[in-house]
């Protein structure tokens, strides 16, 4: 479980396929050591299990195993050399919950349809599939690339988000462009509430 409050980024190093398995390697300034092998870490909003960690030239090199399904459902397959990803360690008892509960279970890989700047903040339009409309509400929580955000408006084709300068500074959202793919996780509470209606 995560909060969607991102304080560190990682840099894409490699994605290697060995037989039917994929291995993702990143570098980061966040301290992650061998003692944490087996723990869950959010990478662009995807809950991954750490399988290797070592320090190299004042950076921490970290590796994760990816299943073909994880690649298929996420934007990790589009990563380019040195591209930034958002990183968040899993919650510990007593940690502050400043965002919202994020599971790291991505629901969709959506496209950015528009970005514009107004009064210092970024306004981003994210397309969505009709089947997910029931999870999208005004003022509701959503995670984009693992970042906890609030939906400010909704149309039939997209929902709009406002990204404040502080969030832009700390996350990879500042690098987004029109047509880029982002990982979307809808609010867990809305998903369970809708499940009860079935």
- List pLDDT tens digits, range 22-74: 999 999 999 999 999 999 999 999 999 999 999 988 899 999 999 999 999 99
The CATH label, of 2.60.40.420, 2.40.30.20, 3.90.550.10, 3.40.50.150, for the domain at 8-89 is 2.40.30.20
Tokens of 1: 């479980």
pLDDT of residue 76: 96
User: Helical H runs in the chain?
Assistant: 68-73, 165-170, 188-196
- Range 8-17 average pLDDT: 96
pTM: 0.93
193 — pLDDT class (breaks 50, 70, 90): confident
User: CA–CA distance from 25 to each of 43, 48, 62, 107 (Å)?
Assistant: 11, 12, 6, 23
Q: How confident is the model at residue 99 (pLDDT cuts 50, 70, 90)?
A: confident
Query: Per CATH, the architecture of 108-196 is what?
Result: Beta Barrel (2.40)
């Amino acid at each position: 479980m995560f909060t969607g409050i991102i304080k560190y980024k990682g840099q894409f190093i490699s994605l290697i396929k060995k037989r039917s398995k994929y291995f993702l390697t990143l570098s980061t300034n966040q301290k992650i050591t061998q003692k944490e092998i087996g723990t869950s870490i959010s990478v662009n909003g995807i809950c991954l299990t750490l399988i290797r960690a070592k320090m190299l030239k004042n950076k921490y090199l970290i590796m994760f195993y990816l299943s073909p399904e994880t690649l298929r459902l996420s934007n990790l397959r589009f990563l380019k050399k040195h591209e930034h990803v958002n990183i968040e360690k899993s919650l510990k008892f007593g940690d502050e919950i400043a965002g919202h509960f994020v599971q790291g279970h991505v629901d969709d890989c959506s496209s950015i349809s528009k970005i514009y700047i107004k009064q210092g903040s970024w306004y981003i339009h994210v397309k969505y599939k009709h089947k997910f409309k029931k999870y999208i509400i005004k003022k509701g929580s959503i995670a984009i690339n693992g970042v906890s955000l609030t939906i400010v408006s909704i149309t039939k084709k997209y929902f709009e988000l406002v990204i404040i300068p502080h969030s832009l500074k700390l996350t990879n959202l500042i690098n987004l462009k029109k047509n880029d793919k982002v990982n979307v996780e809808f609010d867990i509470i809305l998903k369970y509430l809708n499940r009860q209606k079935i």
